[in-house]
Amino acid sequence: MKQEVKSRETQELIINKSFDLFYEKGYNATSIPDIMKKTSLSKGAFYHHFKNKHEIGKKVIEVIIRKRIKEGFIVPLSDINNNVPELLLDVFTNRIKNYSEREKALGCPANNLIGEIGYSEEDFRIILKTLIEEWREALIKTIDIGKYRGEINSKVNSSSTAISLICAFEGVRSVRKVYDDDVIFNEFMESMGSFIKNLGIQQVS
Amino acid sequence: MKQEVKSRETQELIINKSFDLFYEKGYNATSIPDIMKKTSLSKGAFYHHFKNKHEIGKKVIEVIIRKRIKEGFIVPLSDINNNVPELLLDVFTNRIKNYSEREKALGCPANNLIGEIGYSEEDFRIILKTLIEEWREALIKTIDIGKYRGEINSKVNSSSTAISLICAFEGVRSVRKVYDDDVIFNEFMESMGSFIKNLGIQQVS
DNA sequence: AAATAAACATACTATTTAGTATGTATTTTT
DNA sequence: AAAAATACATACTAAATAGTATGTTTATTT
């Protein structure tokens, strides 16, 4: 029992530190020795718990990145007392203001990983796709609730709107990475704001 | 004179093949030996023409990626006989349909590179920022022309709209990478289409 | 045509890397 | 309490890597 706890703690430490490094340096640029330095553990510890680098990559996506998307973008949508456009405005614009300088400069961990995978690393692609799908489904549900309540125009296509919100958001976090100020975020929030507000009024066919 | 031509041709070959590899495998995952295999040249040739890997990275961004953005997204905007919303619709949605399977699967080369750079590689960041700025300025001009002609609502913020278009577009090319079909593109085009059409009509304040 | 310089090729070094083999201390099981 | 298994650490191997040093051939200059 005591051993089980220790084992889990070690694994979590390795996963967390791996995430930090992948986020800062990228997946390919991070080596196993890099991870071991950060954890103050040995290579023996790593290979006792994980099969190889690919394995820790998968775990980081499945556990850490998934948790971040869930807590940052899916859970906040369940605050259904709030008006739906307000909710979307909050999740996709207001929250940007609270990002740390580090988060602004490093962008979205999921998106960074997507950028790194080419034809290779098919495993990563599939897990990341699942995460995006979970996010998208939650958004569709929220938009549908908005329609039902009359807060969102019934002509709005929930599915395509959901994808556009995700894409625009991932896009701005990516583009922001090349800037060293918040101009891009501020401009984006203005335009995104009117896009979301427009969901409530009559659309062009 | 003959030598000068040969030299330039060799450099161009190395730059082109490097771009192909960076696009397919990513910058960090591509080694100098990888590049040399693709060009059928030797290491001596590489280091005769370029100082190091970083140098070729810069050249690829400055020359190839810049050319792609210019030809693909800036030049088409100068077709000012066309109605501005139509022009934007063409550049940001219709053209997606003509992408090859390879381009769909690999996403946007510039965006992939942005994803890979963290705090490191400050040089790349600055060049990429310049490219985005050039793109943005061209878009702002186009939108302003649209306003002047009455094709775009005067209340539209040209600058924030330009950034949003770029972000959304980069975002969808990124998100598309994790899918293996065109569903995301199609859904995006619908929503992006109504966003652009909305630029022509009355906005919510 | 001799001297020079440019355009490469080949062979090497030093470092880093993923992954393995083998050890040891600590738990857990029997 | 002995045996076995777990959680690591240390020391290694083999391959890959960026970059250099030193050729050799071809073009250019004098």
Q: If contacts are CB pairs under 8 Å, which of residues 183-202 in chain A contact chain B?
A: 184, 186-188, 190-192, 194-195, 197-198, 200-201
**Residue in A111, A118, A163 closest to B191 by CB:** A163
Residues A100 and A30 in one domain: no
Residue of A191, A192, A197, A202 for testing the chain B interface, max B β-carbons within 10 Å: A191
Q: Is the pLDDT of residue B13 over 80?
A: yes
Q: If contacts are CB pairs under 8 Å, which of residues 86-115 in chain A contact chain B?
A: 105-107, 111-115
- Structural domains of chain B, count: 2
Question: Which chain B residues are within 8 Å of A197, Cβ to Cβ?
Answer: 204
Q: Is the pLDDT of residue B205 over 60?
A: no
Residue of A134, A136, A194 for testing the chain B interface, max B β-carbons within 10 Å: A194
pLDDT in tens, A2-44: 888 999 999 999 999 999 999 999 999 999 999 999 999 999 9
- Of B11, B32, B50, the residue that ends a domain is B50
B/e letters for A117-135, b = 16+ CB within 10 Å, e = fewer, are bbeebeebbebbbebbeeb
pLDDT in tens, B24-54: 999 999 999 999 999 999 999 999 999 999 9
pLDDT in tens, A161-194: 999 999 999 999 999 999 999 999 999 999 999 9
Residues A42 and A59 in one domain: no
CB-CB under 8 Å, B119 with A178: no
Q: What is the pLDDT of residue B2?
A: 82
Q: Whose CA is closest to B176, among B104, B88, B102?
A: B104
Structure tokens at A105: 């400069």
Question: Which chain A residues are within 8 Å of B163, Cβ to Cβ?
Answer: 172, 175, 184, 187-188, 191
How long is the CA B48 to C1' D24 vector, in angstroms? Answer: 15
Domain, as residue range, for B11: 1-50
What number is the average pLDDT over the span A79-103?
A: 94
Residues A151 and A100 in one domain: yes
Residues A146 and A180 in one domain: yes
Task: Give the count of beta carbons closer than 10 Å to the beta carbon of residue A174.
Answer: 27
Residues A35 and A119 in one domain: no
Question: Which chain A residues are within 8 Å of B204, Cβ to Cβ?
Answer: 194, 197-198, 200-201
> Is residue B15 situated within a structural domain?
yes
Residues A130 and A181 in one domain: yes
Residues A107 and A180 in one domain: yes
Q: What is the pLDDT of residue A119?
A: 74
Residues A191 and A92 in one domain: yes
> Is residue A205 situated within a structural domain?
no
All residues at 6 or more sequence positions from A88 whose CB lies less than 8 Å from its CB, including other chains: A142, A143, A165, A196, A199
Nearest nt (C1') to B6 (CA)? C7
Q: What is the pLDDT of residue B202?
A: 59
Instruction: State the CATH number of the domain containing residue A71.
Output: 1.10.357.10
Q: What is the pLDDT of residue A20?
A: 98
Question: Which chain B residues are within 8 Å of A194, Cβ to Cβ?
Answer: 203-204
Structure tokens at A4: 């089980």
What number is the average pLDDT over the span A58-86?
A: 95
What number is the average pLDDT over the span A103-115?
A: 95
| pLDDT band (50, 70, 90) for residue A205 | very low
Residues B116 and B172 in one domain: yes
Structure tokens at A183: 């101009």
CB-CB under 8 Å, A23 with B28: no
Residues A78 and A166 in one domain: yes
Structure tokens at A113: 């990983």
| pLDDT band (50, 70, 90) for residue A1 | low
Give the C-alpha separation, B131 to B121, whole Å.
16
**Residue in B29, B164, B200 closest to A191 by CB:** B164
> Is residue A156 situated within a structural domain?
yes
Q: Touching check for B42 and chain A: CB below 8 Å?
A: no
What number is the average pLDDT over the span B70-95?
A: 94
Q: What is the pLDDT of residue B188?
A: 97
> Is residue B123 situated within a structural domain?
yes
Give the C-alpha separation, B23 to B112, whole Å.
8
Q: What is the pLDDT of residue A118?
A: 75
> Is residue B64 situated within a structural domain?
yes
Q: What is the pLDDT of residue B3?
A: 86
> Is residue A5 situated within a structural domain?
yes
Q: What is the pLDDT of residue A201?
A: 79
| pLDDT band (50, 70, 90) for residue A117 | confident
Query: Which residue has better confidence, B118 or A85?
Result: A85
**Residue in B160, B169, B172 closest to A190 by CB:** B160
Residues A10 and A59 in one domain: no
Residues A122 and A138 in one domain: yes
CA separation, residue A164 to residues A16, A140, B45, B184, B192 (Å): 30, 11, 46, 9, 7
> Is residue A203 situated within a structural domain?
no
CB-CB under 8 Å, B191 with A175: no
> Is residue B204 situated within a structural domain?
no
pLDDT in tens, B113-142: 999 987 778 999 999 999 999 999 999 999
Q: What is the pLDDT of residue A39?
A: 97
Q: Chain B residue with minimal CA distance to A120?
A: B25
Q: Which residue is nearest to nucleotide C26 (CA to C1')?
A: A3
CB-CB under 8 Å, A169 with B125: no
Instruction: State the CATH number of the domain containing residue A30.
Output: 1.10.10.60
Residue B41 to chain A, least CA–CA distance (Å):
25
Structure tokens at A163: 């994808």
Q: What percent of chain A has pLDDT over 70?
A: 98
Give the C-alpha separation, B69 to B64, whole Å.
9
Q: Is the pLDDT of residue B103 over 80?
A: yes
